[in-house]
Amino acid sequence: MKIKDGDIIVFAGDSTTDADKNATGDGLGNGYVKLVRDALFAFRPSENFRVVNAGVSGNTTLHLLKRWEKDVSSLKPDIVFCMIGINDVWRHFDYLDPLDKRISEEEYAENIGKICDLAEGAREFCLMTPYYMERNRTDEMRVLTEKYAARMKEAAKDRGIKVIDLQKVFDEYMQGRPGQSVSWDRVHPGSVGSMLIAREVLREFER
Amino acid sequence: MKIKDGDIIVFAGDSTTDADKNATGDGLGNGYVKLVRDALFAFRPSENFRVVNAGVSGNTTLHLLKRWEKDVSSLKPDIVFCMIGINDVWRHFDYLDPLDKRISEEEYAENIGKICDLAEGAREFCLMTPYYMERNRTDEMRVLTEKYAARMKEAAKDRGIKVIDLQKVFDEYMQGRPGQSVSWDRVHPGSVGSMLIAREVLREFER
Amino acid sequence: MKIKDGDIIVFAGDSTTDADKNATGDGLGNGYVKLVRDALFAFRPSENFRVVNAGVSGNTTLHLLKRWEKDVSSLKPDIVFCMIGINDVWRHFDYLDPLDKRISEEEYAENIGKICDLAEGAREFCLMTPYYMERNRTDEMRVLTEKYAARMKEAAKDRGIKVIDLQKVFDEYMQGRPGQSVSWDRVHPGSVGSMLIAREVLREFER
Amino acid sequence: MKIKDGDIIVFAGDSTTDADKNATGDGLGNGYVKLVRDALFAFRPSENFRVVNAGVSGNTTLHLLKRWEKDVSSLKPDIVFCMIGINDVWRHFDYLDPLDKRISEEEYAENIGKICDLAEGAREFCLMTPYYMERNRTDEMRVLTEKYAARMKEAAKDRGIKVIDLQKVFDEYMQGRPGQSVSWDRVHPGSVGSMLIAREVLREFER
Amino acid sequence: MKIKDGDIIVFAGDSTTDADKNATGDGLGNGYVKLVRDALFAFRPSENFRVVNAGVSGNTTLHLLKRWEKDVSSLKPDIVFCMIGINDVWRHFDYLDPLDKRISEEEYAENIGKICDLAEGAREFCLMTPYYMERNRTDEMRVLTEKYAARMKEAAKDRGIKVIDLQKVFDEYMQGRPGQSVSWDRVHPGSVGSMLIAREVLREFER
Amino acid sequence: MKIKDGDIIVFAGDSTTDADKNATGDGLGNGYVKLVRDALFAFRPSENFRVVNAGVSGNTTLHLLKRWEKDVSSLKPDIVFCMIGINDVWRHFDYLDPLDKRISEEEYAENIGKICDLAEGAREFCLMTPYYMERNRTDEMRVLTEKYAARMKEAAKDRGIKVIDLQKVFDEYMQGRPGQSVSWDRVHPGSVGSMLIAREVLREFER
Amino acid sequence: MKIKDGDIIVFAGDSTTDADKNATGDGLGNGYVKLVRDALFAFRPSENFRVVNAGVSGNTTLHLLKRWEKDVSSLKPDIVFCMIGINDVWRHFDYLDPLDKRISEEEYAENIGKICDLAEGAREFCLMTPYYMERNRTDEMRVLTEKYAARMKEAAKDRGIKVIDLQKVFDEYMQGRPGQSVSWDRVHPGSVGSMLIAREVLREFER
Amino acid sequence: MKIKDGDIIVFAGDSTTDADKNATGDGLGNGYVKLVRDALFAFRPSENFRVVNAGVSGNTTLHLLKRWEKDVSSLKPDIVFCMIGINDVWRHFDYLDPLDKRISEEEYAENIGKICDLAEGAREFCLMTPYYMERNRTDEMRVLTEKYAARMKEAAKDRGIKVIDLQKVFDEYMQGRPGQSVSWDRVHPGSVGSMLIAREVLREFER
């Protein structure tokens, strides 16, 4: 992916991206987006970038689709990263409000497709798969997460869009240490998991 | 178990028992201990009990042993419940500080034995096994938790002490719903899990 | 009363139902509604329910009537519980603002009737009588509360609607212990009184 | 009672006297003690008094006895008022902790006697009876309160000590309005009840 | 002045009346209005009154005139008390903003006249003079305050309206103690001065 | 007075000096001491000074004497300013606690003498008279303040110590505007009065 | 510059003028504007002035132009001071957001011209140059600041408008002490630098 | 430098190391120490380390020497990093309290020597030079900082101790962007500067 001086870079997603962004003065949160921005500023001092955190906690693909125009497209970004889907999966495992509608694999695939269409205006677009920080491959939520991630990869492949496979990144990490050691719920990455994600984004800039 | 008018009832344990007891005016926390006390007061209005929360967050058997005299024995309780062990297990899976010593199965068994000895002064004593709210029986932390729980049950059996098998209680619950739906980390039971534990304690009073 | 997987259950009422619901993150308050919800979630894990607290502190039947459409009907509930009336009674005993109008027994009966009409859309509807936690049957506020409760029971009988007689529940309790031991003002039930109310609601689900 | 320029006046008692004195900058609380002091300052501008609030919430005669030397005698007061006893009564009606000892009528009478002995150093000493703001004379807590008040009056009579009969004051008030209209628990007097008590104290200064 | 069961009583004025009313839950402030209300409730328990604090800090007659309709008349009061004028005086002595217009004696007299006209709807109306708690009769602000008070008395006399001469009340007080002992700025009365004002209002009810 | 590079300058006094020094991070308060220090730093940039605020609110000469060793002498100051006495005067006019002892003119003169003795170690020592910001020369507190100030001037004259006559400074100011326009209680100088005091101190440095 | 009794004096500018004005009750901030106002009040007690702080943190000439009508002209000031430009310079050295436009020297000169035109209604108008508190004349931000200041001086000269050369003031100061000793960022003047600026403004009043 | 599983790693220094460590729950602060720790945890998941922040804001070499035993040696660290000296330099440029003693180049060199001696117990020891984020090489504080850094490098060379030359790191950075863009005072590195420091530390682990 090419990154150029003056680029506007938007990260769209859920709480992993959001990382409490409304509580930090700069609107960047304290997760991987902040690390990516700081690294760009620290290691490319002769260039200028605008980095925008467009993550919102609790978002599914459905929520993200609805706010894409306002939160992403309207900024006319040069580069867009999008990590979405873990809440589409999670709602099958936690509180099952009779009034809520769960997003099926098919709907997820469809929503990802629509997001790809909406992102066409950006010079560079990159998806990041949902992941589950549990190394037991028979874990029921991991199994479902992998199915959704597969759908994302399919959708990306069809359209020639880049995908960062974060499950793979964390699987490598979990060879050394259980996922719950950095993430009690196996989803929110904390400062350590954020560093793993940030590294992937930064590597993408150099591919 | 016989419960009598005027009994002093102490619940010893870790954060599941503690349930933020220092933040509630009555020192009872907002977990199962509070529910048990309220039920005793609501449903046995002609009797009087003193219910004491002696749980401390983060405790292993080692911590509990050290404070048993001060926090339990010195109250001269008639009835003692003790749920301890999940932190003995957990320290094998989360942050592994080089300066900390992990408590092995053998040490756990030994510590439980010492606790049983210390509890001899009470008229009634009941152990409650550690549990892990994950229904995948191959989960690595569940596997270890079950080993420790087995040690507790052995120790209890040898001495003729009652044990409530909480893993069994939650396994039954998890036939309907994944453990993470009420407990993100599969350990802290929240208000729903506390109700399940409280019911077991109340049933014990009626056995 | 039949309760089914997927049911939306609304509890309408005054401060006894409200139980500080705006101060708890889940909008359920810390009274009987929370206990009922937790019990449903704990003991029926294979079903899903939506439980709504529609109590507002200080409400009389007049206030409740005015907000029924917005706070109850608009949710299309399957099951509705309604406990209302103690404030209709209380305003005869505390501050008597010349600008306020007191609700007479007749008006109360009329208002209850209207509430019953409005609740017709629900599959199940159950009234709960106002109560006064004072065991002296000559107490002036108890005497008036019982008159209003009688009106509610009449209205319910005429229409074949279920009624839980909470005064009876608390009378049984007060055989063992004075009402003021759990409720300084004999009205707000605290955590112990809430457990008594919650048990009645849960029993109703099993009748 | 004679009050003189330069007098140190101490009010000993429980929460009715205390009235949240630690939360007000002047240590006088917001109850009858504050009203008495303000009235003395407003209506006797050419004299100077030191008024001390020596009430402590929750105190029974037993607690007050233990701290009399430190909180009352050590100030070398010229005038002492003492209102104590409602907590001695109350502990028979609210939470009955098996570890607590209830103070019987006999013990109460004995404690009042000891307080009278300790107060001998003051030039003027005046007792004020406990009261219960419930006009139903068959109310169980009122009945007991009256027994304790009778004991206080006896003790005072034997020693020729002044007594203000606050129950009588509130009974007169309750001819017009129920006690609970100014005091939800029938004990804590609020700003209106405090004015009634303050008037009695001020009248005593003019007898 | 006749006061009757059910009367609505409004106190209009400046900061002396206001007494931080927005900071007290009941909107009564902590000055003389609160004392008057509490005394009415304490000493006339068989009657009901609505007492309204319509004081606003910093008000001159000009400000009060502008809000009279909204804050006083619209409440349809039976009885109105009005103490206003010290800010009309004060602005001649403290910060003299070039953009502010000072209210002359003549304008003050005129404004008081208009207030009297607006107050005609009330069954009872009583003015209270501005006062200055300084016993040196040559004090420049006292001299001016007395001139304004004289204007108020004239206006009242012409219309047969009652006036409470508060300067006289405080002069009597200051025979024993300097005004600054209860009021650093000689204007805000504190709790002691408020008691003096409240007594005058209560005496008016009994004339 | 000579001021030299490296001088330690201490200002001893009461609340006028203190100016809420514990609430400002630099311990200088927000009164004349801060202004003096800032002026020294701004207008003599090639020199370095240490400026210490040793004022304590409510202090009389008696309090100051007791803490002189700890708060002044122990700092080994080169220059000492001392403004003290208004509280010695004030206690004759405000709250007259029977337990407090008022400081007479004679005692004041004696205390000032002792302070002068204690200050002998400093290279430069300067007294500042108490003042009262009331231009009516018959004002009772002004009359007394002038008597105490005269005592201070006498004591200084006897010992050849410099005195700044602040009453004179404020009298000049009050030719244009009443004292209460900058100081409600005629004592605490606010930011405007502090500027007048600071100018006198700075002028002293240049004499 | 002539200053007259009754003048309205407005200070327009950026954060140096603003000085946290929204956090101080009087809207004057804690910088040079407050010092100027206090000095006027302290040293000219027989005159009255209205002093207005119209500084807003972060403002460039572009921002100030946009709000001049609302924040300056609408007040109909007699005297206007304007210090603006350091943010026009600074944006070339700190965060370079691709979406922001930097203000060139030419635009700055043009904006200053427009401000001069807008200020024509005032009787007196005075510009104050931006400055940089760094005594190394080769410092890159100082070099640019001087260029912008030169533009301001040119614009003022063309129109016969007064200019206070603050860089010169601080250069003199920095002969004795480095600029960073009072201003970490060499821009925000703190209390010491504010005193230097205030002195210049006050001197201007006396020219 | 060799880093091994189980190592205890201590970072000693001033505010750049401290980074508000007392305000973060984990005691690591939000500067380079936190980034180093997170990177170690993220990228070496099969090893365990204990990382300790032993920085204290405002420390000079003198302060650090005094607490070395307590804060560093007593932890028996395997690896120690030490960045110290900027405050030794800074005290020559900011507030020059006559009571403070400035640390000369010679004393600095001597102190660094002593620190090296104290650090001998650690398996690995690495110094990091003080730096000044100003690219103008004639800047007076930069010139002095470089002198102190040279002393550190000399001391290290004599003893064969590793040194990270942070000035060089920031010089490279400042080719692209002025130092003040990330650090207003050219010293505190913020999140961007911390990333540059952290990278150097991490590289050291891999040399």
Tell me which of B97, B100, B102 to substitute to probe the interface with H (most H C-beta atoms closer than 10 Å). Answer: B97
Of H41, H192, H199, Cβ closest to residue A41: H192
Return d(Cα H112, Cα H65) in angstroms, integer: 9
D147-156 average pLDDT score? 98
DSSP state of B71: H
Return d(Cα F16, Cα F84) in angstroms, integer: 9
Provide, as residue numbers in chain A, all residues whose Cβ is less than 8 Å from the Cβ of H45: 173-177
pLDDT tens by residue, E172-205: 999 999 999 999 999 999 999 999 999 999 999 9
Using pLDDT thresholds of 50, 70 and 90, give the confidence band for residue G88: very high
Is ipTM strictly over 0.90? yes
In 3D space, the residue among E57, E45, G162, C1 whose CA is nearest the CA of residue D196 turns out to be E45
In 3D space, the residue among B5, B48, B53 whose CA is nearest the CA of residue B25 turns out to be B53
DSSP state of A10: E
The encoded tokens of residue A24 equal 């930090």
Neighbours of A201 (CB within 10 A): 22
Sorted by sequence, the CB contacts under 8 Å of residue C105 that are 6+ apart come out as C147, C148, C151
CA of E157 vs chain F CAs: smallest distance (Å) = 33
Q: Are A62 and A55 spatial neighbours (Cβ–Cβ below 8 Å)?
A: no
Tell me which of D41, D48, D76 to substitute to probe the interface with F (most F C-beta atoms closer than 10 Å). Answer: D48
Farthest CA pair distance, chain G:
54
pLDDT tens by residue, B33-73: 999 999 999 999 999 999 999 999 999 999 999 999 999 99
Catalytic member of D7, D14, D15, D88? D15
Provide, as residue numbers in chain D, all residues whose Cβ is less than 8 Å from the Cβ of F96: 48
F34-61 average pLDDT score? 96
**Inter-chain contact F139–E136, Cβ cutoff 8 Å?**
yes
Collect all residues from D whose CB is shorter than 8 A from any CB in C. 93-96, 135-136, 138-141, 178, 180-181, 184-185
pLDDT tens by residue, D107-142: 999 999 999 999 999 999 999 999 999 999 999 999
pLDDT tens by residue, E109-128: 999 999 999 999 999 999 99
CA of A143 vs chain C CAs: smallest distance (Å) = 21
Return d(Cα C146, Cα C130) in angstroms, integer: 8
pLDDT tens by residue, C133-189: 999 999 999 999 999 999 999 999 999 999 999 999 999 999 999 999 999 999 999
Provide, as residue numbers in chain B, all residues whose Cβ is less than 8 Å from the Cβ of C51: none
pLDDT higher than threshold 70 for residue A96: no
Tell me which of A171, A175, A196, A197 to substitute to probe the interface with H (most H C-beta atoms closer than 10 Å). Answer: A196
**Inter-chain contact B45–C193, Cβ cutoff 8 Å?**
no
Q: How much is the pLDDT for D94? A: 81
pLDDT tens by residue, F140-199: 999 999 999 999 999 999 999 999 999 999 999 999 999 999 999 999 999 999 999 999
Residue whose pair of structure tokens reads 């800074």 in the numeric block: H90
Return d(Cα D84, Cα D67) in angstroms, integer: 13
Of F94, F181, F184, Cβ closest to residue E181: F94
Handedness of CA A46, A50, A53, A54 (dihedral sign): negative
pLDDT tens by residue, G51-67: 999 999 999 999 999 99
Q: Beta partners for D53? A: D11
pLDDT tens by residue, A143-160: 999 999 999 999 999 999
pLDDT higher than threshold 90 for residue C91: yes
Return d(Cα D127, Cα D191) in angstroms, integer: 21
Return d(Cα B99, Cα B88) in angstroms, integer: 16
pLDDT tens by residue, E26-77: 999 999 999 999 999 999 999 999 999 999 999 999 999 999 999 999 999 9
Using pLDDT thresholds of 50, 70 and 90, give the confidence band for residue C14: very high
**Inter-chain contact C93–D180, Cβ cutoff 8 Å?**
yes
Q: Is H82 helix (H, G, I), strand (E, B) or coil?
A: strand
Size of interface A-G (CB pairs under 8 A): 11
Provide, as residue numbers in chain B, all residues whose Cβ is less than 8 Å from the Cβ of D99: 8, 50
Return d(Cα G27, Cα G25) in angstroms, integer: 6
- Residues of C annotated as catalytic are 15, 185, 188
Sorted by sequence, the CB contacts under 8 Å of residue B203 that are 6+ apart come out as none
Q: Are G126 and G1 spatial neighbours (Cβ–Cβ below 8 Å)?
A: yes
Q: Is D85 helix (H, G, I), strand (E, B) or coil?
A: coil
Buried b (16+ CB within 10 A) or exposed e, E148-157: bbebbbebbe
pLDDT tens by residue, G148-177: 999 999 999 999 999 999 999 999 999 999
pLDDT higher than threshold 80 for residue G118: yes
Q: How much is the pLDDT for H99? A: 78
Measured between CA atoms, the residue of chain G closest to residue A75 is G99
A108-123 average pLDDT score? 97
Using pLDDT thresholds of 50, 70 and 90, give the confidence band for residue E100: confident
Return d(Cα C152, Cα C165) in angstroms, integer: 10
Residue whose pair of structure tokens reads 């700081």 in the numeric block: A38
The CA distances from residue D189 to C126, D19, F145, H171, in Å, are: 39, 9, 46, 73
Handedness of CA A101, A107, A112, A115 (dihedral sign): negative
Collect all residues from F whose CB is shorter than 8 A from any CB in E. 93-96, 135-136, 138-141, 177-178, 180-181, 184-185
Return d(Cα F119, Cα F10) in angstroms, integer: 11
Using pLDDT thresholds of 50, 70 and 90, give the confidence band for residue F96: low
Give rounded-to-5 percent helix, strand, coil for chain B: 50, 10, 40
Q: How much is the pLDDT for C96? A: 67
List, in sequence order, the alpha helices (H) in chain A. 15-18, 32-43, 61-71, 86-90, 105-118, 140-159, 166-174, 190-206
Neighbours of H44 (CB within 10 A): 16
Q: Are F109 and F122 spatial neighbours (Cβ–Cβ below 8 Å)?
A: no
Collect all residues from A whose CB is shorter than 8 A from any CB in G. 6-8, 48-50
Q: How much is the pLDDT for E50? A: 95
The verdict on whether H188 is a catalytic residue reads yes
**Inter-chain contact B193–C42, Cβ cutoff 8 Å?**
yes
Q: Which amino acid is at D18?
A: D
Q: How much is the pLDDT for F98? A: 80
Provide, as residue numbers in chain F, all residues whose Cβ is less than 8 Å from the Cβ of D7: 98
Q: Say whether the D–F interface has 3 or more Cβ pairs within 8 Å.
A: yes
Residue whose pair of structure tokens reads 């009907």 in the numeric block: C73
pLDDT higher than threshold 80 for residue A130: yes
Using pLDDT thresholds of 50, 70 and 90, give the confidence band for residue D207: confident
Measured between CA atoms, the residue of chain B closest to residue C173 is B45
A156-167 average pLDDT score? 97
Q: Which chains would you list as touching H if contact means 3+ CB atom pairs under 8 Å?
A: A, B, F, G
Using pLDDT thresholds of 50, 70 and 90, give the confidence band for residue G14: very high
The encoded tokens of residue A18 equal 């959001």
Q: How much is the pLDDT for E96? A: 67
pLDDT tens by residue, A30-49: 999 999 999 999 999 999 99
Tell me which of D43, D166, D199 to substitute to probe the interface with E (most E C-beta atoms closer than 10 Å). Answer: D43
Q: How much is the pLDDT for A83? A: 98
Measured between CA atoms, the residue of chain G closest to residue A47 is G96
Q: Which amino acid is at D19?
A: A
Q: How much is the pLDDT for D200? A: 98
C189-204 average pLDDT score? 98
C54-81 average pLDDT score? 98
Q: Mean pLDDT for chain D?
A: 96
The verdict on whether D15 is a catalytic residue reads yes
The encoded tokens of residue H30 equal 């939000």
pLDDT higher than threshold 70 for residue G84: yes
The model's pTM:
0.93
Q: Mean pLDDT for chain C?
A: 96
Backbone angles phi, psi at E95, to 5 degrees: -60, 130
Provide, as residue numbers in chain B, all residues whose Cβ is less than 8 Å from the Cβ of D94: none
* Positions in chain B short of pLDDT 70: 95-96
Segment H42-46 long-range contacts (CB within 8 Å, at least 24 positions apart): H42/A173, H42/A192, H42/A193, H42/A195, H42/A196, H42/A199, H43/A195, H43/A196, H43/A199, H44/A176, H45/A173, H45/A174, H45/A175, H45/A176, H45/A177, H46/A175, H46/A176, H46/A177, H46/H5
The verdict on whether H15 is a catalytic residue reads yes
**Inter-chain contact E97–G6, Cβ cutoff 8 Å?**
no
pLDDT higher than threshold 80 for residue C30: yes
Q: Say whether the H–G interface has 3 or more Cβ pairs within 8 Å.
A: yes
Return d(Cα C63, Cα C84) in angstroms, integer: 10
Q: Is E175 helix (H, G, I), strand (E, B) or coil?
A: coil
Segment E153-157 long-range contacts (CB within 8 Å, at least 24 positions apart): E153/E129, E154/E109, E155/E109, E155/E112, E155/E113, E155/E116, E155/E127, E156/E112, E156/E116, E156/E127
**Inter-chain contact G42–F173, Cβ cutoff 8 Å?**
yes
In 3D space, the residue among E205, E180, E199, E197 whose CA is nearest the CA of residue E13 turns out to be E197
Provide, as residue numbers in chain G, all residues whose Cβ is less than 8 Å from the Cβ of E96: 48
**Inter-chain contact E50–C98, Cβ cutoff 8 Å?**
yes
Using pLDDT thresholds of 50, 70 and 90, give the confidence band for residue H96: low
For F148: left if phi > 0, alpha if psi spans -120 to 50, otherwise beta; the answer is: alpha
In 3D space, the residue among F166, F194, F189, F206 whose CA is nearest the CA of residue F34 turns out to be F194
The CA distances from residue D163 to B60, D9, D111, D148, F8, in Å, are: 59, 16, 16, 13, 64
Collect all residues from D whose CB is shorter than 8 A from any CB in B. 96-99
Q: Is H67 helix (H, G, I), strand (E, B) or coil?
A: helix
Q: How much is the pLDDT for C138? A: 97
Q: Where are the beta strands (DSSP E) in C56-135?
A: 79-83, 124-128
Buried b (16+ CB within 10 A) or exposed e, A134-151: bbbeebbbbebbbebbeb
What percentage of chain D reaches a pLDDT higher than 90?
Answer: 93
Provide, as residue numbers in chain C, all residues whose Cβ is less than 8 Å from the Cβ of A99: 8, 50
CA of C96 vs chain D CAs: smallest distance (Å) = 9
Burial class (CB in 10 A: 0-12, 13-18, 19+), D75: middle
**Inter-chain contact A97–C48, Cβ cutoff 8 Å?**
yes
In 3D space, the residue among E69, E81, E66, E64 whose CA is nearest the CA of residue E123 turns out to be E81
The encoded tokens of residue D188 equal 């804590």
Catalytic member of B78, B88, B183, B188? B188
Q: How much is the pLDDT for G109? A: 98
